Each structure stands twice: as structure tokens, then as C-alpha cells.
Amino acid sequence: MITKSPNTQINHKMSTNPYHDDKRLLELLERWQSGDFTRADEQELQSLADSDDFRREAVEGFWSLPETDHSQHLSALRQRLRQQSGHGKRAFFPQLFMAAAAVLLLVLAVVWLIPSGEKTATLAQQETAPAAPAAEQPIASNLPEMKSSEPEASRGKTSPALDKMSRSVVADNQPTGLFESGPAASDAATEVASSPPAPIQNQGGAVMDEVVVSMPPARQSDTEMAQNASEEVDMIQGNSAPRAKAQKEYADASKAKDAMKKKAPALANESAPAEGWAGFQDYLRKNARLTEAARQNNITGKVRVRFQLDSNNQPVNFQIVQSLGYGCDEEAIRLIKAYSWQRGKTAEVTVDVPFNR
Amino acid sequence: MLRFLRPNFPEHLSDEQLLVDYVGGNSPRALGMLYERYMPMVYGVCVKILKDSGKAEDAVMAIYEELTRKVKEHEIESFRGWLYVLARNHCLMEWRKAQRRPTDHHAPEDMVHYDAIEPVFEYELPQGTSALERCLAELSELQRTCVTWFYYEDKSYKEIADQLSEELGKVRSFIQNGKRNLKICIEKNS
């Protein structure tokens, strides 16, 4: 028997603030994509789409290609966007590290001062130098986590307690993954700041008495400071076993950090400009000029060029994917050739060269 | 000192706040964070107009680049509305440019609106029933099965896909095409 499907307006809050409705739309689209989607969801999606033009056209876009895996594109886009804008990585990192270091200082001062009265405040201070690499580890080893869109990928480096904590924070905060922008990494890293005792145990135990380490000047970079400290400690104590493990972990983490400082191609599979996309865009903005012929014909727009990077990072094999004509195509190629590039795992690059003036 | 310890949670900042931060020069990454919020919707609009998911992906990045320039040049009251217009215009322009080498003749304005709720379900049962039943019978077997299970047995896409051993994307497609055919058939018969 065919029953009439209820044509009722779904009872949900249509708030005047579009942000909540947009968020709900993205949640529903994520379910539409993943398959966990029913008739009722479709009705709700329809109401949300009907109430706003931006939402309506967005939904129509997804719906026009029902067999495409849009989540792949969205995931790629998030990566591309973060690469270009630089956010999602270190935005909060320096603050967090300072915060962690400050808390560590306090904790250590308490731990070492209270038990034995003989230990002086200065010794406690010196402990902070070897403590710094310990702080580095859990934070730094969270960096690979931030980079990928799968924050729950396992990393064997952090202590299990910390790992569990960051994973539970991540799970709570990212219910719908790709369709929504993620706070995951920032929350995981916050947890690090507020729970220093766990990782410290490993390190604090190893470096106890007879440590004569001069407090490095505050202005040194994170990397240098911790490395100096750990080197000096090694020399004085000859304490190899736990330190060596820490060294290796720290070295891996700092390598990841340095790679991220360089903005990227080292971590990404894609080829990219040697100094990052932002620099390249800037360079194009400053140097891309319409040819005389184009200007006379009132032509503006962009040239899309595909090319490859050879083993010397030189751009070769140019293809004009989208032409502007009037000599601008050649000019785009010239501009690309004049810039320095870094080849990634995939040698092919496609760039847009805008000509607006 | 305490402010210094507070972690930076951009998710709690308003659009306008992030915009101000970016334009003011204090926070170069604020624009990226802001754009990321709207990125899936911008992507959807681009797919609708450009009719290609790969081109849409590239367009989303191109719009971002345009954004980085334009936010500094314009006074923006409501970012969301302004972004919508920017995205649409960019895609329409790109579509028209592509039309110089004609491959497809649809203008985006002619594009079909995909209705999620088909009018067929608004018909009163008595009259609609026979037409509905007849039209359902005219669908292909897979379309009919998917439409029936989705609308009348309240199954999810995933459940239907598993039971039919079909791909998820195909199920979506069957339901959409089935619905469209039903609509056309019923309109013909009334």
C-alpha cells in the first residue's frame, strides 16, 4: 500500500544567523555523501536550501553530480587552502609552546623544590633546559597530525596518556570531518599544554643530579635551545639510553617542524614554488603585465599553464590549458620560467597567471 | 600575561572579526580560516555553474586568490553575501570564457533545479494514486526499487546500496533520475 509521504515542514530552528543553518547544511551534505541519508534528511536539506540562495545553489551543485565523490575535492581543497594561507598549522603554536613552557617551569619548580630542601632554586631553573625538549616532543609530534586531514592517525611518539587524550578531544570536536572546517588540531594541542606531567616523567627521571647546564638565552629559537640543552646534558652525564631515544624522537619532530617552517613542498606530494604559493602569487601580482596587444583589445583575464618540473627543478613541457591570447600566454610562460620551483613527488604543476593590468 | 596563555580558537570568532584581523595586517592567516568556513558552499556553487568538479575545485582556489586582493580594496558589510556574489560572478565569467570554445550549450540560468521534494508527494492520494502507480511502473526496475525504498520504506542510501549491491553514487543517481521521471510522467497525466 502506498502511503502518502508527509508534506510537513520539518521542525527545526531556522535561525536568523545563517551560520548555524550553514553548518547544519554541511552536516547534511556530508551525510548525503557518505550514504547515511534518509528521506527525512532530504526534506530538511530541501528546507535549508529553500530558505537561502547561497545554500540553494550550493546544494544544487552537489546534487547535479550525484555520482562524484565530492569529499575528495573538498579534502584536496582544504589542503591547498592551508598550504596557501598558512593557517591550521602554526597559527597558535608559538603561544602554546610558551604556555607549555611556562607551566612546565612552575611544575618543575614545585617538584624539585619541595622534596629536598638542599636543591636550590637555580638547579630547578636549570632543569627547564632539558625539560624543554620534553615539551617539544608532544607538541612537535602533534604537527604531523595537523597536517593530515585524518587527525586520528596513530603516532607512536607521544606517551599513551597524551595520545588518548588528544584523540578523544579530536573525536569530540570533529563529528563530520571533511565538510566542516576543523578545530581538531588546535584542540589536541591545547590538551598538551594543560597536561605536561605525563611526558615529563620520561625525561625528568633521566636527568637528575649533577646537571650543570647554563640557561640558554631566551631569544634562541625553540629548536636551538632544546638542542643545546640536550647536547650539553649528554656530554656531562654520559647518560645515553633514555636520552638517545629522546634525541631521535626530537630530531624527527624538529625536522618536521623545520620542514613546516619552509612552508611545505618537503611535506607535500605536490610540486610547488620554492618559497611557497603566497610568494608566487605576490610575484605574479607585481610582475604580470598585459601585453600591448591585449590592452588595446581590452582583454583581461588569466592564462592557465600546465608544466612539469625536471630533476633540476626547472619548469619544462609547457601546455596552455586556458589561453588568453595576444602574447599573454608567452608572457605567462616567461614569468613561470623566471621563478624558482621545488619539485615534489608529482612533477606536474598547473598554475593560473592572472593578467589584470 | 593571562591573555598570552589563552589559546587561539579561530572557530569562535565571527566572520567580521576575522576579516578585520586580516585586513588590519595582524593576522595573515585569518582570511584562510574565514574562507575555509564557506569553502564547501563555494565549491557547490562552482560545481553548479561549471558543471565539473575538477574545474570547480580550481575555481574555489582562484576565488580565494581574488578574495585576498579584493578584501583590502572593498568595504564589506556582510562577508557571506559578498562572497556568494563574488563566487557566482567568477564562475559565470569563467563559464562564458569557456564558451568561446563551445563544448556545451547550456547557460547556467537554464539549469534544472533539482528539487528534493517532488510535487508528486503533494498530490492528494485519491487522484494521485493511479497516476503515481502507473508512473512508478514505467520506471526502470532499479529506479523504481530505489525510489520505493527511499521514500516509502524510509531506507537510507547506504542501506539501499548494500541491499542492491550497487555503488552509493549510483543509488543517488537512480533516486534522482527516478524522481525526475516520475514528476514528468505525472505532469503528463494530469
Please write the tens of the pLDDT for every residue from A64-100: 999 999 999 999 999 999 998 887 765 455 667 788 8
Helix residue ranges, H only, chain A: 18-34, 39-50, 53-64, 70-85, 93-113, 121-140, 143-147, 160-173, 184-194, 197-206, 222-237, 241-261, 277-287, 292-296, 328-337
Complex-level ipTM: 0.84
Comparing CB atoms, the residue among B44, B152, B156 nearest residue A35 is: B156
| B7 close contact with A: CB closer than 8 A | yes
> For residue A145, which of A72, A27, A253, A224 has the smallest C-alpha distance?
A253
Tell me chain B's radius of gyration from C-alpha atoms.
Answer: 23
CB neighbours of B168 closer than 8 A, spacing ≥ 6? A35, B157, B158, B161
- The C-alpha R_g of chain A, in whole angstroms, comes to 27
Q: Are B165 and B175 in contact (CB under 8 A)?
A: no
Q: Is B48 on the interface with A (CB under 8 A)?
A: yes
- CB B145 within 8 Å of CB B159: no
Residues 120-159 of A with CB under 8 A from B: none
**A109, A140 Cβ separation under 8 angstroms:** no
Is the pLDDT at A50 greater than 80? The verdict is yes
CB contact under 8 A, B8 and A95: yes
Q: Identify from B47, B60, B94, B154 which residue to disrupt to test chain A contact, counting A C-beta atoms within 10 A and taking the largest count.
A: B47
Beta strand pairing call for A348-355 and A272-273? unpaired
pLDDT for the residue A255? 52
Nearest to B80 among A5, A54, A60 (CB): A54
Gap between the Cα atoms of B13 and B9, Å rounded: 8
By C-alpha distance, the chain B residue nearest A74 is B40
Which of these, B135, B118, B117, lies nearest to B127 by C-alpha position? B135
pLDDT tens-digit profile of B149-182? 999 899 999 999 999 999 999 999 999 999 989 8
Starting from the edge strand earliest in sequence, which strands make up the sheet with A315-322, in order? A315-322, A301-309, A348-355
Q: A301-331, pLDDT tens digit by residue? A: 889 999 989 888 889 889 888 888 888 999 9
Per-chain mean pLDDT for chain A: 68
DSSP state of A111: H
Which of A6-10, A178-182, A260-264, A275-279: highest mean pLDDT?
A275-279
Partners of A3 on chain B (C-beta within 8 Å) are: 152
Report the largest interatomic distance among the alpha carbons of chain B, rounded to a whole angstrom.
74
Task: Identify whether the C-beta of residue A331 lies closer than 8 Å to the C-beta of residue A352.
Answer: no
Helices (H), A150-240: 160-173, 184-194, 197-206, 222-237
Closest by Cβ to B36, choosing from A36, A64, A181 = A181
The amino acid at A339: Y
- Please report the pLDDT score of residue A114 as a whole number: 79
pLDDT at B117 over 80: no
pLDDT in tens, A126-177: 544 444 444 444 444 444 444 444 444 444 444 444 444 444 444 444 444 5
